[in-house]
Amino acid sequence: MLDAAYLIPAFPVLGFVVLLCVGSKLKEPHAGVVATAASAASFVAALVTFAGLVGEDSHHRSITKVVFDWIPSLDVKVAFLIDPLSMTMVLFITGVGTLIHLFAIGYMHGDQRFSRFFLYMNLFLASMLLLVLGDSFLLMFLGWEGVGACSYLLISFWFERDSASTAAKKAFVANRVGDVGLMIAMFVIFSKVGSLTFSTVFERVEEGVFSKSVATAILLLLFLGACGKSAQLPLYVWLPDAMEGPTPVSALIHAATMVTAGVYLLCRANPFVGVDDSAMTVVAVVGAATALYAALIATSQDDIKKVLAYSTISQLGYMFLAVGSRAYVAAIFHMVTHAFFKALMFLGSGSVIHGMHEEQDMKRMGALKRFMPITAFTFLAGWLAIAGIPPFAGFWSKDEILLSALESFDGPLGVLLYAVGLVTALLTAYYMTRQIQLVFFGDPRHGKADAHGGHAQGEGHTEEQGQLTTPEPVAAGDQAGRGDDGDHGALGAAATPHESPPTMTIPLLVLAALSVGGWVINSPILLDYPLEHWLEPVVEAGRPLHLTEVSTATKILFSAIATAAGVIGIAAGFRIWRRGADQPGFEPRLLRRGFGFDQILAALFGGPGRKAADSAAYRVDAGIIDGTVDGIATVVRRGGAQLRRLQSGYVRSYALGITTGTVLLLAYVVNRGR
Amino acid sequence: MSLLAVADRAPSVGHGAYLIIAALLFTIGAVGVLVRRNVLVMFMCVELMLNAVNLSFVAFASRLGDINGQVAVFFTLVVAAAEVVVGLGIVVAIFRRRKGTATADDLHILRG
């Protein structure tokens, strides 16, 4: 059964090849069907492999499947590492990936590059699977760059838009900064061990080949790479702009899978933490700072996807806080639940954008619950999950992270990290409430020229009653979804919002179910932390924090505090935003502009940075380096011009030269003896 | 009286004389190469220099009683013969090309 592991990445590669060869000839839905089938087949293969791995003894659940010897002299094989960590990743990547592929069939309907979209998506999936399945740092890096390239291609998918191609370039450049760290870390590891294979490297780590300072340096360099890929301070700048890509891309790449690669990397490298864990304090502090920072920005964004983008950055900060607290399982747990509810909300926002005819400004939405019941209903599940309301998935995973931060760091640092996490939880609940209030409740503002006017009269109480109850039956929504095909070309502000077709709503429903019940994978109730025990063999080297040892009373107390924070956030969100969409007082300019970080970067790199680059280009390069090269060439050319006169072509002058030379040589040889 | 016997009885000339003649011949040849423009004459002057060297070889061989000097002369003769074949071929080619004149200074196409 474990041999099915070969098939996991093989199916997306096959889908990619098929679409590459015949994609342009396929009629519209078929390319999407091919890609979705490839993804689904990969998920089935992952399930089979998973079943095989469960059948193994818990301490032999680390199996390497070699495909071929790639670079024998460097001990690099193309091989897949099947262990609890990689299988957890693979399962949610292929599972969520399949749902998003399915969603994209509906979302990308009518796009002129329909098949190319799915070609990129399958290529992305293959790269992502290579990233998590690769058994060495090098193979992982190959997948790491592969997903980066796919991210670039998909952000700039609508490259006719200037902003899209700029955003793609920004993502690429920001990621390069992080990749430098990752590459240097790999060089250091290779120079110490002579191999990049995980098993070999980690064996040597346990033998004590790495000194404390080297281990710390490697962890910090890996973290730099993770900061780029997983959008942490200060390299997060690309992720909000990456929302220029189609929404399924945002859901798959920029929320559920690719951006979690940094968390995976640090969890995988946990044996280094066993040598010295001082680097992890940096990781935890950066994670907590990012969580708070991005949550603050998210409270004041108008674009429905920008809110989710900053929210993703904030949630990734939580994951790094967990990793920094050595609570690897909590990080992975939150990664999985986040993949469920954030993919759900991104797809939900995609459905909203689709239904609103490419409108993304939340201030121009409102009352969409009436027009898009399924989307609204599923989105609410995601909202409660991310807000940390029990028993939704986010509650359990976020709770574990907050508790680990407090348990892992002694004294004021632990309390500070916990407090930051708690405030972030409150802000998260607040900005998500603001979002659903603006999008799904309140007065309908679509179709009005002035989106920021118009206050609701008496709408407030009805929506409050309606928020937690199941909306009306969905048949009407489906009809609206099917009948919309014609009006996409002639969209206008006056077009009525409509529910999306079933290919889009089915993934939403599945993800909503997972957002509600996905927490059972690490349930403390009845099941005794299955994920914790499942992942234990992989993370035991990094001195993990075991929450299983914390007393139940403490857990209940801290859960209650976290839940209270979530409830306060939600209450505040409703109280403030029920009054209407136009409340600049709660949207400071500073936060609307994301603390002006982009402007600071632009000023820094546009002003002094540009001058430095200019002087490097025109003074150092053109003046000194080119000048040296040109100078040598000039000397040689002038010297040659003088010397060529000697070569007159007259045989007799040559003969004279030879004679003179001979005589001089003779004179020298004869006189030397004296 | 055989010719050999006459040579035997002839008063022997010192080796120095041979060397002086060799030096003279060599100088004449070298100066000829440098000052004359006619390719054929320059060529003959080179031969003169070669034979001056040959003469000094033989003189030293006789003086030192070492046969190697004479062996070297044979080598020189053979190489000179081969060189003459090539050289004269080139001279003939030049004559044909330049319609009867063979001035070395006209042949300066290879100048820098």
User: What's the pLDDT tens digit per position in A417-436?
Assistant: 999 999 999 999 999 999 98
3-state secondary structure A537-571: HHHHHHCCCCHHHCCHHHHHHHHHHHHHHHHHHHH
Q: Quick one: pLDDT at residue A217?
A: 93
> Does residue A470 surpass a pLDDT of 50?
no
Note whether A349 and A308 are within 8 A (CB).
Answer: yes
For residues A645-653, give the mean pLDDT: 81
Among the partner residues B33, B35, B108, nearest to A650 by beta-carbon distance? B108
CA distances from residue A255 to A53, A93, A444 in whole angstroms, order as listed: 28, 11, 29
CB contact under 8 A, A647 and B37: no
Q: Residue A142's closest CA among A280, A9, A328?
A: A9
**Rounded distance between C-alpha atoms, residue A571 and residue A494, angstroms:** 33
Nearest C-alpha in A relative to B42: A652
- Interface check for A637 against chain B (CB to CB < 8 A): the answer is no
- Torsions phi, psi for A235 (to 5 deg): -100, 15
Tens place of pLDDT per residue across chain B (112 aa): 555 555 555 556 788 899 999 999 999 999 998 888 888 888 899 999 999 999 999 999 988 988 999 999 999 999 999 999 999 998 888 888 777 676 777 777 766 5
Among the partner residues B35, B42, B109, nearest to A649 by beta-carbon distance? B109
- Interface check for A649 against chain B (CB to CB < 8 A): the answer is yes
Tens of pLDDT, residue by residue over A555-575, are 888 889 989 999 999 999 888
Among the partner residues A647, A652, A655, nearest to B111 by beta-carbon distance? A647
**Chain A residues near residue B110 by CB distance under 8 angstroms:** 647, 649
- Interface check for A647 against chain B (CB to CB < 8 A): the answer is yes
Q: Quick one: pLDDT at residue A39?
A: 94
The token pair that represents A172 in the structure block: 């690429």
Among the partner residues A643, A649, A652, nearest to B111 by beta-carbon distance? A649
Task: State ipTM.
Answer: 0.77
Q: Quick one: pLDDT at residue A655?
A: 86
CA distance B8 to chain A (A): 37
CA distance A655 to chain B (A): 7
- Interface check for A644 against chain B (CB to CB < 8 A): the answer is yes
What are the residue ranges spanned by the domains of chain B? 15-111
**Chain B residues near residue A656 by CB distance under 8 angstroms:** 34
Among the partner residues A645, A650, A659, nearest to B105 by beta-carbon distance? A650
> Residue A478 — very low, low, confident or very high, per pLDDT cuts 50/70/90?
very low
Q: Give 3-state DSSP helix, strand, coil % of chain A, rounded to 5.
A: 75, 5, 20
CB contact under 8 A, A643 and B112: yes
Please, where are the H alpha helices in chain B? Answer: 3-9, 15-35, 39-64, 68-97
CB contact under 8 A, B33 and A655: yes
> Residue A313 — very low, low, confident or very high, per pLDDT cuts 50/70/90?
very high
Residue partners of A110: CB distance under 8 A and separation at least 6: A28, A485, A488
CA distance A635 to chain B (A): 18
For residues A462-482, give the mean pLDDT: 35
| CATH code of the domain occupying B15-111 | 1.10.287.3510
Nearest C-alpha in B relative to A656: B34
For residues A655-668, give the mean pLDDT: 91
**Chain A residues near residue B107 by CB distance under 8 angstroms:** 649, 651
SS3 of residue A361 by DSSP? strand
> Does residue A144 surpass a pLDDT of 90?
yes
Q: Residues for chain A: how many in total?
A: 674
CB pairs under 8 A between A and B: 36
* Beta pairing, strands A76-82 & A63-71: antiparallel
Whole-structure pTM value: 0.75
Q: Quick one: pLDDT at residue A318?
A: 92
Peptide bond into A234 cis (omega under 30): yes
Tens of pLDDT, residue by residue over A482-517, are 333 333 433 444 467 888 888 888 999 999 998 888
**Chain A residues near residue B37 by CB distance under 8 angstroms:** 652
Q: Quick one: pLDDT at residue A602?
A: 82
CA distance A654 to chain B (A): 9
Nearest C-alpha in A relative to B108: A649
**Chain B residues near residue A643 by CB distance under 8 angstroms:** 112
Q: Quick one: pLDDT at residue A458?
A: 34
- Interface check for B48 against chain A (CB to CB < 8 A): the answer is no
Q: Quick one: pLDDT at residue A283?
A: 93
Among the partner residues A645, A649, A652, nearest to B34 by beta-carbon distance? A652
Note whether A304 and A363 are within 8 A (CB).
Answer: no
Q: Quick one: pLDDT at residue A463?
A: 35
**Chain A residues near residue B53 by CB distance under 8 angstroms:** none
For residues A162-184, give the mean pLDDT: 91
Torsion, CA A51, CA A55, CA A56, CA A61, rounded to 10: 30
Please, where are the H alpha helices in A55-211? Answer: 84-107, 114-133, 137-155, 162-193, 198-207
Q: Quick one: pLDDT at residue A452?
A: 43
> Does residue A344 surpass a pLDDT of 50?
yes
Highest-pLDDT range among A200-204, A471-475, A601-605: A200-204
The residue with greater pLDDT, A488 or A441, is: A441
Chain-centroid distance of CA A300 in Å reads 22
Q: Residues for chain B: how many in total?
A: 112
Among the partner residues A643, A648, A659, nearest to B30 by beta-carbon distance? A659
What Rg value do the Cα atoms of chain B yield, rounded? 18
**Rounded distance between C-alpha atoms, residue A104 and residue A351, angstroms:** 10
**Chain B residues near residue A652 by CB distance under 8 angstroms:** 33-35, 37, 42, 104-105
Amino acid at A638: R
**Chain A residues near residue B111 by CB distance under 8 angstroms:** 647-650
CB contact under 8 A, B104 and A652: yes
For residues A579-600, give the mean pLDDT: 79
Nearest C-alpha in B relative to A648: B111
For residues A661-666, give the mean pLDDT: 93
CB contact under 8 A, B42 and A644: no
Q: Quick one: pLDDT at residue A277?
A: 82
**Chain B residues near residue A654 by CB distance under 8 angstroms:** none
Note whether A86 and A4 are within 8 A (CB).
Answer: no
- Interface check for B90 against chain A (CB to CB < 8 A): the answer is no
**Chain A residues near residue B30 by CB distance under 8 angstroms:** 659
- Interface check for B8 against chain A (CB to CB < 8 A): the answer is no
Tens of pLDDT, residue by residue over A42-79, are 999 999 999 988 888 877 888 888 888 888 888 888 99
Point out the least confidently predicted range of A175-184, A244-253, B8-17, B54-63.
B8-17
CB contact under 8 A, A651 and B104: yes
**Rounded distance between C-alpha atoms, residue A40 and residue A34, angstroms:** 10
The residue with greater pLDDT, A487 or A164, is: A164
